[in-house]
Amino acid sequence: MTALWAQLRTELRLTLRNKESLLLTLGIPVGLLVFFSVVDVLPLDDLLGPGDEPVDVLAPGVLALAIMSMAMTGLAIATGFERSYGVLKRLGTTPLGRPRLLAAKIGAVVVVEAIQAAVLVPVALLLGWDPTLHVLPLLGAVVLGTAAFAGLGLWMAGTLRAEITLALANGLYLVLLLLGGFVIPLSELPDPLRRFAEALPSSALVDLVRAGFGGTTGPGRAWLVLAVWAVLTPLVAARTFRWSPAR
């Protein structure tokens, strides 16, 4: 068994063993999807096309939320505690090396995203979701969104104490859940807040995922916003990351 494969398996095993992380990556997205599909309280009318059900708007939003929950919050909390427990430092004295450790982490995020999709998509289909798949733009959006949120997560994990990372990653998740356009349409927000929200990676990702499942490429503005975040946050994370525990 190679070092990379062993590291990837370990990352996955620990993620799936952690019940808080499962609640965040699967429990909350599934819950939101089912609840708001069945209970019609969200003002989704502006986003609904002819013949659309609420689930047609909700399913892509919740899939985008799932990406954020794993790539940002899940990755930040796990990596933050690995750093504070000295795991990253300890692995630094093995032949594993940073490139393979990073590759294993990325691989684990991708596999968890696949698991999230494998759970959320059938649930959404059962609730009457009727997507028109546009595969390439959708994949592009997922890759950019994962990079942007993973960059944010690693930025926190690599610079802050684990307890602060835990609080901030969860707090940001909650703020972006409300402002990110995942379930609540941005059009419902007051104007200055809406414009702020439009510049966030969350709303750009939601727009593009929704477009990808609606058979279109999505607005250029969203691609630009998400691409900038996807380049910026990993760069900052790489430049600021501290491997040893905070003192």
Partner 1 sequence: MSAVSVEHLVVRHGDLVAVDDVSFTAEAGEVLALLGPNGAGKTTTVEVLEGYGRPDSGRVRVLGHDPATERDRVVGRIGVMLQDGGVYPGIRPPEMLHLLAAMYDDPADPDDLLARVGLTDRARSTWRQLSGGEQQRLSLAMALVGRPEVVFLDEPTAGVDVRGRQVIRQIVRELADGGCAVVLCTHELDEAEKVADRVVIVDRGKVVATGTLDELRARTSEEVRFSAIPELDVDALGRHLETTVTEVSPGEYVVADPGHDSHLTAKLTGWLANHDVALGDLRAGRQRLEDVFLVLTADESEPDVRRAVASGRRRGTGRRGRRS
Q: How far is the CB of 147 from partner 1 (least distance, A)?
A: 25
Binding of residue 89 to partner 1 (CB under 8 A): yes
Task: Give me 161's structure tokens.
Answer: 């104490």
Rg (the chain; Cα; Å) = 18
With contacts defined by CB under 8 A, name the span among 37-45, 80-88, 118-126, 174-182 that binds partner 1. 80-88
State which residue, 15 or 37, has the beta carbon closest to partner 1. Answer: 15
Spell out a b/e string for 82-110, using b for 16 or more CB atoms within 10 Å of the CB, else e. Answer: bbbeebbeebeeeeeeeebbbebbbbbbb
With contacts defined by CB under 8 A, name the span among 7-15, 107-115, 136-144, 218-226 that binds partner 1. 7-15
CA–CA gap between residue 31 and residue 215 (Å, rounded): 26
What does the per-residue mask of binding to partner 1 show for 183-222, with x meaning CB under 8 A?
----------------------------------------
**Residue linked to tokens 């999807």:** 33
Q: How far is the CB of 90 from partner 1 (least distance, A)?
A: 3
Q: How far is the CB of 93 from partner 1 (least distance, A)?
A: 4
Binding of residue 140 to partner 1 (CB under 8 A): no
Contact in structure between 73 and 153 (CB atoms under 8 Å): yes
What does the per-residue mask of binding to partner 1 show for 16-45, with x meaning CB under 8 A?
-xx---------------------------
Alpha helices in 39-184 (DSSP H): 54-68, 75-84, 87-91, 98-126, 135-159, 162-179
Give the residue among 47, 33, 55 at the shortest CA–CA distance from 131: 55
CA–CA gap between residue 70 and residue 59 (Å, rounded): 17
With contacts defined by CB under 8 A, name the span among 49-57, 93-101, 134-142, 216-224 that binds partner 1. 93-101
Applying CB under 8 A, the residues found at the interface with partner 1 are 1-3, 5-7, 10, 13-14, 17-18, 81-82, 85-87, 89-96, 244-245
